[in-house]
Amino acid sequence: MKIFEIVLVIACALFVIGVITASIIRKKQGKSSCDCGGDCSHCKACMYAKTNKRQ
Amino acid sequence: MEKTLDNFSVGEKGIIKMVQGEGKIKRRLFDMGITPGAEVFLRKKAPLGDPIEVTLRGYELTLRKTEAACVMVEVK
Amino acid sequence: MKRFALAGNPNCGKTTLFNSLTGSTAHVGNWPGVTVDKRDGVYKKCAEPVQIIDLPGIYSLSPYTPEEVIARNYVLDEKPDCVINIVDATNLERNLYLTTQILEMDVPVVVALNMMDAVKKAGDSINAKLLEERLGVPVVEISALKETGLKELMDKAYNESKKTRVGSTVLEASPLAHLIGDVKIALKGQNVANPLFHAIKLVEEDEIEVNMHKETLPMVEEFKKTFNDEIFGSDFEALVADARYKYISSNFASVLSKKSKDTTKMTKSDKADKVLTHKYWGIPIFLVILFGIFHLTFGEDLLFLGKIFSLPSLEDLGLLNEDGDPINFGVRFLATFYDGAIMSPGVWINNVWNDLIVGEIFGWLGGLVEESGISPWAVGLINNGIFDGISAVLSFLPPILVLFLFFSILEDSGYMARIAFILDRMFRRFGLSGRAFMPMIMGFGCSVPAMINTRTLADDKERTATVRVIPFFSCGAKLPILTAVAGAIVAFFGVGNADVITFAMYLLGIVTAIVCVLLMRSTTLKGETPPFIMELPTYHVPQFKNLMAHLWDKTKHFVKKAFTIILASTIVIWALTHFSFNWTFLEDEQVNESILAGISQLVQPIFTPLGFGSQLGEFGWVFVVAVVAGLIAKENVIATFATLAACLMAVAGLNFGELAIDAEDGIDAVQAMIQATGIKVPGLIAFIAFNMTTIPCFAAVATAKAELNNKSTYHWTLVFWLASSYVVAAMIYTIGSWWWTLFIWAAVCACVVCAIIFKDKLFAKRK
């Protein structure tokens, strides 16, 4: 295997793991599972409500 | 002449005399400005005759005939 | 940091003000109840940065729906440094009703007179000075939309927040003043914050309040016995509301000077209303508008001009060479909007994006990879695993945006609220109020905000029923499935018409939703039909800025999704199709020995009654994979097709004849599936129907869980989704394949209906 191919496989694997862990972390933090990363107006509103509930 | 709001026909005007009904619905009607003394004007009826749209206190409110039946109005 | 809360009636422009102050792009629409949760942002142009909190709209501080509770609790419990009460100047009386209640709390208040531009335009005027004098708090004229008066408003609010304010009430002058005073003193003795406010609410017998101060209640009852009004008797709720409105009309009427006294005069908005909500034409107009939207988005023959005038195709004009390709770039561009028929704007944008932009870029990238001299498997991973999936998803961006734009226009203009008015009578038949229509129509965009919006519904059972059927209103992400499969049916079998199939599938979703609501409301979710009391907003021309903000939000969402979760899924699917159970690498041709094929073939028989199971032979499992991938995100269905199509095309024996198949194109990918599996039209339609009505994506499921806030209801909701999709798809497949099964289904439906009616009668008798 060439270097490029090894890098490609590792990058793909890392990417998949990254996406999965990122979504798990988001869930753990109580953020929405909507994929906007909390950017859209709906998610912002929702996150705000949840943090307030916990307090 | 007094009659309930659901018996109004389009274009009729009147002064609210009394609001009946129970709990939450009455509360909501009050909050929306349906209180004794207010002037209402039946603007139109939806296709199939229900719900109805009234003008009161300078804005448009829509409600069903069942809710309008709680409102007693003196026809002008 | 200081906190200012924005409070006011629904649809009075709180969110528009919030956006102007904080530079946010929160969703704004012209109907009451767009904002159903508080959100915050920062305003930086004051002496120090200020946190601004946008609250859901409320008509009074005695809440009626869940979202109104949020607003009340915030103002009472979180104690903002200042409440900015936004008052719609075009609708002064009802807006001031809330103001009189806010003033009863011990919190600094500034009144913002919004929509002053509209008042001046109508030739009316408001004496803000006089209003300020009578209210006893600063009043600032603003226009949230045109961003005038904002600086002054914030400076005044900032000044006020440094002071302390003690609540005052307009009921002082009413006969109730004495009673309220007594209760207030009692509450003050108990060290209750905002004693005046709570005292009045206690006298009013507000539900939340009564539960909060149970121990004080007997005392209030004692006080009340001494009081009896001649008109209202002991109906204190009516007394208080009446006193407020009386005070408002006697004290604030002089503030507003109207150009014309006639309340029945026709404005432009009234004229539009007269046509759009006409007694007989209202419903037909609504259907025409809906069809028009779909036609402008998906129609390949605008206004059917091509058919009517039998316009010549490009081939007839001699603009194509022997291979059927355009002779030059100009013709290629022409082909994006004309080929024997003028294409609708939606299709044109779609063609430009796909043929000229996405197609070219990914084609070029793919070529680069192929020529780079890396091993074939690496080429496969990059081109099929990564590029095909992403480009297949991205290619559906235009129809989603165009459709969404039309819905935004409807929402912004104020027509949406009218649809609720027109349809209420029908909705009542199904046991819902016209109000439930809003979240449902939002479902066409995305189920997540739609489910959150069900908070505007006052009745819990109505909410549950609505949340459950929202996924049936095919969302933007399901659109690619519809268009790709419909396109493939037209291209491969040469039957039907793509926009009619798409429109029909949307209708199917709506019909399914209606049937399910009817079923639920007459069995598990029985209850009274909830009341329908709603304000109708004035029509206005949609704001360009606002529309663009909506579209930008949607695009960002979609692109982000394509490059994260969908990319990850396609990589995983590629890997699973290129390795066998003993981890040896497989060529494209050996796809049937892969891990994914092995697992899905186990599940495949389950889908046999739906037309995409065991009867499809050795490659039939691809549909199973697509369905399962769709549970993560619905865009995944087409991305999966694209990735798998690349493998299937490599399998010997696939012969496309004249067809030029390109795995990067969703429609072509589906054609490859059809060729490989031999699936028939009923099976394909059943496949779309199953995807449309089954468990929605992860995000929507999580939202449903949060909104239903009851574990067992949530679990039954999942079961409901699975069951409904299975039944609907099975019905379509069997009837489509063997028409006489129609009678069997009809008989089953009749039995169910009879059983329900019979049970109801039994129940009624027992009662």
List, in sequence order, every beta strand (DSSP E) within C408-565. Answer: 533-536
Order of strands across the sheet with C82-88?
C39-43, C50-54, C2-8, C82-88, C109-114, C139-141
Q: How far apart are CA B36 and CA C221, in angstroms?
A: 25
Q: Does C51 touch chain A (CB under 8 A)?
A: no
Q: Where are the domains of chain B?
A: 2-75
Residue A37 clears pLDDT 60, i.e. is over it = no
Number of inter-chain CB pairs under 8 A, B vs C: 127
Q: How far apart are CA C412 and CA C544, in angstroms?
A: 10
User: Is the previous residue joined to C439 through a cis bond, with omega within 30 degrees of 0?
Assistant: no
pLDDT given at position C304:
79
Both tokens of C156, joined, read 């005044």
For C703, the enclosing helix (H) or strand (E) is helix C698-708
Both tokens of C596, joined, read 């994914």
> What's the full length of chain A, in residues?
55
> What's the full length of chain B, in residues?
76
CB-based contact C553:C25 (threshold 8 Å): yes
Q: How far apart are CA C470 and CA C481, in angstroms?
A: 18
Number of other CB atoms surrounding residue C750 within 10 Å: 10
Number of inter-chain CB pairs under 8 A, A vs C: 89
CB-based contact C61:C196 (threshold 8 Å): no
Both tokens of C307, joined, read 């058919």
Per-residue three-class SS string for C294-344: HHHHHCCCHHHHHHHHCCCCCCCCCCECCCCCECCHHHHHHHCCECCCECC
CA distance C453 to chain A (A): 10
Residue with tokens 């400076």: C155
pLDDT given at position C249:
85
Kindly write down the DSSP assignment for every residue of C477-505, as one continuous string: TTHHHHHHHHHHHHHHH--S-HHHHHHHH
Band of pLDDT at residue A50, cut at 50, 70 and 90? low
| pLDDT-flagged residues of chain C (< 70) | 31, 33, 36, 228-234, 260-266, 324, 651-664, 709
Sequence letter at residue C36: V
Residue A41 clears pLDDT 60, i.e. is over it = no
CA distance C379 to chain A (A): 10
CB-based contact C578:C594 (threshold 8 Å): yes
Handedness of CA C550, C555, C557, C558 (dihedral sign): positive
Torsion angle (degrees, nearest 10) of CA C143, C545, C23, C99 = 30
Q: Which of the other chains make 3 or more beta carbon contacts under 8 angstroms with chain A?
A: C
Q: How far apart are CA C141 and CA C126, in angstroms?
A: 9
Q: Which residue of A3, A27, A41, A44 to mutate against C (max C Cβ within 10 Å)?
A: A41
Q: Which residue of C has its CA nearest to B63?
A: C533
CB-based contact C435:B63 (threshold 8 Å): no
Q: Do B47 and C92 touch (CB under 8 A)?
A: no
Q: Does A30 touch chain C (CB under 8 A)?
A: no
Q: Which residue of C has its CA nearest to A27?
A: C702
Band of pLDDT at residue A38, cut at 50, 70 and 90? very low
Q: State yes or no: chains B and A have 3 or more CB pairs below 8 A.
A: no
Q: What CATH number labels B2-75?
A: 2.30.30.90
- Which of helix, strand or coil describes residue C82? strand
pLDDT given at position A35:
46
Both tokens of C765, joined, read 């008798």
Residue with tokens 């995000």: C699
Q: Does A42 touch chain C (CB under 8 A)?
A: yes
Query: Which backbone phi and psi does C83 adopt, to 5 degrees?
Result: -105, 120
Band of pLDDT at residue A26, cut at 50, 70 and 90? confident
Residue with tokens 């091509």: C306
C-alpha closest to that of B35 among C326, C642, C240: C240
Q: Do B57 and C94 touch (CB under 8 A)?
A: yes
pLDDT given at position C392:
75
Q: How far apart are CA C63 and CA C80, in angstroms?
A: 19
Q: Does A1 touch chain C (CB under 8 A)?
A: yes
- Cα C595 to Cα C32, C605, C626, distances in angstroms: 52, 17, 15
Q: Do C698 and A1 touch (CB under 8 A)?
A: no
Q: What residue ranges define each of the domains in chain C, with the CATH number in brackets? A: 2-168 (3.40.50.300), 171-257 (1.10.287), 414-535+694-766 (no CATH)
CB-based contact C370:C384 (threshold 8 Å): no
